[in-house]
A and B are shown apart, each in its own frame.
Chain A
Amino acid sequence: MSASERSASNWLDANGGVFIAGVGLHPYQFPSETPYTQLGLTAVRAALTDAGLRWNQVQSAYVGTTSIGMAAGRVMLRHLGWTGLGVTQVENASASGSFAFRQACMEIATGMSDAVLAVGVDKHGDGRRAANKDGLERLSDTATIPAVKFAMMARTYLRERGAKVEEMAGVAVKNHANAARNPFAQFRKPRTLEQVLASPRVAGDLTVQQCCPRGEGAAAVLLVSGQAIKRMGLDSRRCVRVRASVAGSERDERQYGDAAVELVRSSARAAFEQAGIAATELDLLELHDAFSVEELLYSEAIGVCEPGEGARFLSRGGSQIGGRCAINASGGLIGMGHPLGPTGIGQLAELTRQLRGEAQGRQHPQAHWGMAHMIGLGSVSIAHVLSAAT
């Protein structure tokens, strides 16, 4: 949490507040020949329709993407009309879309604009990473590969918590089941525990079905100021409010392996403080489950369950749709997919549908508060808290 975020009562309350008025997605899918423009435009047009906004009312656009290349936004958005809006491309690995959304929030809250698009779009790329261009040699060829890091975290988690491999694999079972009910998900088939455990092993105790797939897709949200909702004739009952937006990056770890978890813990805590709620008040949580163990670790770090209780919270149904806090109701990165640029915005779109009561087939009952939490390579973190219209 930055000093300004700690001291401000809530910067998101300026300009009448920041609201999500429309969401749209192109289903996540395995790499294909479909041009990214087609993916992105599908999502943006759906968001415009959902909000009831015209393209020429949108004053600015932030485009989260990792692998398409320079100037992806303008090349895509010109097909909606040459309106002269500001276009900014945002890249922050897995969290690219989340950071595009945060930029849009800032633009609304400062009063610079009243209607802003945040869109994430990506094609599967070649995985080029800045960490491999820093001029430093490494002892291991896999030193910058997340699957290895998380496999080691999984091993430590299982040993220290006394948890079983089957309990960790339960994350994938739950999230594949949720994804099967999400028409925008890359995987649409439920998986049994036996199937998850029998799928090919990748690293340590992680099997293929406990890892997110490669893919592509798009997700878009349209943000408006509270001042503009009435002026633009929008339906305020379908506008979901942004209550917190907090970003951070890793600090020196105090003990081996705790840096990523501490990052999640501190960013979530700051977001709850900004939103004025406790972690236990969350009804929905979308988080970075690129690997199954992350959901167990982060559900504890974020505070929806007690430290050390992540596996048991899952096995008791606490994180199921209809449980105390539905975690990754969308299917998460494991089930819905992780096309990178869109992923964070896809989380916010899912929360919006849930908080409106429009998540057909997977609706969590009486949903009022939701958090979208993302991690990006590096590591960076970002947390957003949303609330339903009151």
Chain B
Amino acid sequence: MTEPQTPLKPLHPTLYRLAQDGHSLDFFFVQCRACDGLSFPANVPGCMHCGDPLADARKLSRPGGGELLEYVTLHVPLAPGMAAPSIAGDVRIAPGIVEEGVIAASDETRLHPGMALRAIAQVREAQGVYACCFVPADAEVTP
């Protein structure tokens, strides 16, 4: 599979890369040989499910996304450089794996627990990178 051509680099290269469509993200996982479970990110030093050292485990990529479990608006910048207000959400990105992510929505009214999300690239031209954010799976995204 060829990667889309872009001068931008991923902000977190161990977590994701740009997908074929040029705006969605693929996430990197590692699959445990002992229990078959997926762990995230792919460079974890032990299986999240059984503790296996993952020495010969298979690394794989999957379309980034998942189920929105909960979300809140962050009214103040809680980390350096972050925008506020913004929305943070817990997303189940694979069975047994819940990660907090940035939800790209102007307010909470379009969100509800259980909805499907997909990960897209949030371009930061000035930094020459793209970051990850989640949008509703049925949202139209302009490349």
Which residues of A pack against B, CB within 8 Å?
Answer: 135-143, 145, 147-148, 151-152, 154-156, 200-205, 252, 256-257
Contact = CB atoms under 8 A, between A and B. Distances in A.
Interface residues of B, number: 33
Contact of B100 (A148, A201, A256): A148
A205 to B, nearest CB: 8
A142 B41 contact: no
Interface stretch (B1-9, B55-63, B70-78): B70-78
A252 B96 CA distance: 9
A214 to B, nearest CB: 14
A139 B65 CA distance: 12
B92 A142 contact: no
14 contacts: A137-B41, A139-B101, A140-B101, A141-B81, A142-B74, A147-B78, A148-B72, A148-B78, A152-B71, A156-B70, A201-B76, A202-B78, A203-B75, A256-B98
Contacts of B102: 139-140
Given A152-B70, A203-B74, A139 B79 contact: no
B82 interface: yes
Interface of A is mostly: loop
Nearest to A208: B76
B72 A152 contact: yes
Contacts of B71: 152, 155
B99 A139 contact: yes
Contact of B132 (A135, A139, A148): A139
Contacts of B90: 152, 256-257
Sorted from nearest, which 7 A-B pairs have the closest CB atoms?
A: A204-B72, A141-B79, A137-B12, A201-B75, A152-B70, A140-B100, A151-B72
B69 A257 contact: yes
Contacts of A205: 72
Contacts of B12: 137-139
A204 B86 CA distance: 10
B70 A136 contact: no
A151 B101 CA distance: 14
Contacts of B89: 152
A155 B72 contact: yes
Contact of A257 (B45, B70, B82, B100): B70
Given A139-B15, A142-B88, A200 B43 contact: no
Contacts of B49: 252
Nearest to B12: A137
Contacts of B76: 200-203
B81 A256 contact: no
B75 A136 contact: no
Contacts of B82: 141-142
Nearest to B73: A204
B69 A256 contact: yes
A290 to B, nearest CB: 14
Contacts of B45: 135
A158 to B, nearest CB: 11
A142 B70 contact: no
Given A136-B41, A204-B72, 16 more contacts: A135-B43, A139-B15, A140-B100, A141-B82, A142-B78, A151-B72, A200-B75, A201-B76, A202-B74, A202-B75, A203-B73, A203-B75, A203-B78, A257-B69, A257-B70, A257-B90
A347 to B, nearest CB: 27
B79 A155 contact: no
B102 to A, nearest CB: 6
Contacts of A140: 88, 99-102
B44 interface: yes
B99 A138 contact: yes
A91 B79 CA distance: 24
Nearest to B119: A139
Nearest to B81: A141
A205 B75 CA distance: 10
B7 to A, nearest CB: 21
A155 B98 CA distance: 17
Contact of A145 (B69, B73, B78, B101): B78
A138 B90 CA distance: 12
Nearest to A205: B72
Contact of B43 (A136, A141, A143, A204): A136
Interface in B2-43: 12-15, 41, 43
A237 B99 CA distance: 52
B98 to A, nearest CB: 6
Contacts of A256: 69-70, 90, 92, 98
B71 to A, nearest CB: 7
A104 B26 CA distance: 51
Contact of A203 (B41, B72, B96): B72
